[in-house]
Amino acid sequence: MYKDSKIYVAGHSGLLGSALIKRLTENGYGNLITVPHDQLNLTDKKCVHDFFSLRKPEYVFLAAGKVGGIVSNKTYPADYLHINITIQNNVFDAAQKYKVKHLIFYGSSCTYPKHSSQPIKEEDFLAGHIEETCLGYATAKITGIAACKVYNEQYQMNRFIALIPNSMYGPNDNFDLENCHVLSALIRRFHEAKINNSDTVKLWGSGKPRREFIFSEDVAEASIFAIQNAVRLENQHYNIGTGVDYSIQELALKIAKVVGYDGKISWDSSRPDGVSQKLLDSSMFSSLGWGPKVNLEQGLQITYKWYQNKINAWT
């Protein structure tokens, strides 16, 4: 991938897409293609093929799709399935037809079995039942991971690369409490509690489940690294994580400290916890020479500063 290569970042305004734009630009890649959703509907096959025919991107980072938290996934599972599979099918088909050199597809840790041994290895894929609360989304992502492999097998090339990052966070994350993930939800909850001088913040579950979090720009760097080292990759998916996980209780305390909230935290154990642990074994990808650079404390500081600036812009 040369500095003047045509690089299309799908979903460029989202959490990962914006991180990709930032890191690609900082690394000297100047020929970036971005198109707003209202100008390119990725669920419309003709629009997608017309775009690829006209713009002819050489490299694609497929960071577009419908994402959300546990409540949204449980409420709209068919939407998560249909929208994500449709986008994947359209973009994969066009990438193959118009001879994209490499496409990065992003899976999800929720594609692994609910009761996987920890840390989760790539070989655990399809080895058991997945978590029911994210069935629609996970099924779409499983399809995309499999598509990368079978396209490469059928056409005898390593065009499609599947990465599975663990829970991402960072600037441009979603802070809508109905649709966001746990980390961004906690940032908003503690920020609002501080502003409103609330004595207590009540959180869902027991706080005991453990999660691994990775800063969005680290995933962006891993993506660029994957394309730069594509000839060294096998035709399989690769886990992308930090190798460190935290209980939700530990995460809540860290976020409260960053936000500056010093009230009490209570837990509603009548609410579901979800999977008890999701820690990825990323050693296979790390052995190629990549590693994360931003620890959780640093990432939380950056993310909260972005959130504060965004709140100030809204008001």
State the DSSP string of the chain. Answer: --TTS-EEEETTTSHHHHHHHHHHHHTT---EE---TTT--TT-HHHHHHHHHHH--SEEEE--S----HHHHHH-HHHHHHHHHHHHHHHHHHHHHTT-SEEEEE--GGGS-TT--SSBPGGGTTSSPPPGGGHHHHHHHHHHHHHHHHHHHHHTS--EEEEEE-EEE-TT----TTT--HHHHHHHHHHHHHHTT-SEEEEES-S--EE-EEEHHHHHHHHHHHHHTGGG--SS-EEE--S--EEHHHHHHHHHHHHT--SEEEEETTS----SEE-B--HHHHTTT------HHHHHHHHHHHHHHHHHHH-
| Catalytic entry in 8, 80, 112, 137 | 137
Nearest to 212 by CA among 107, 126, 295, 125: 295
CB contact at 8 A, 3 and 29: yes
**Residue type, position 267, single letter:** W
Residue 169 a catalytic site member: no
Residue 203 tokens read as 């959180």
The residues carrying an active-site annotation are: 137
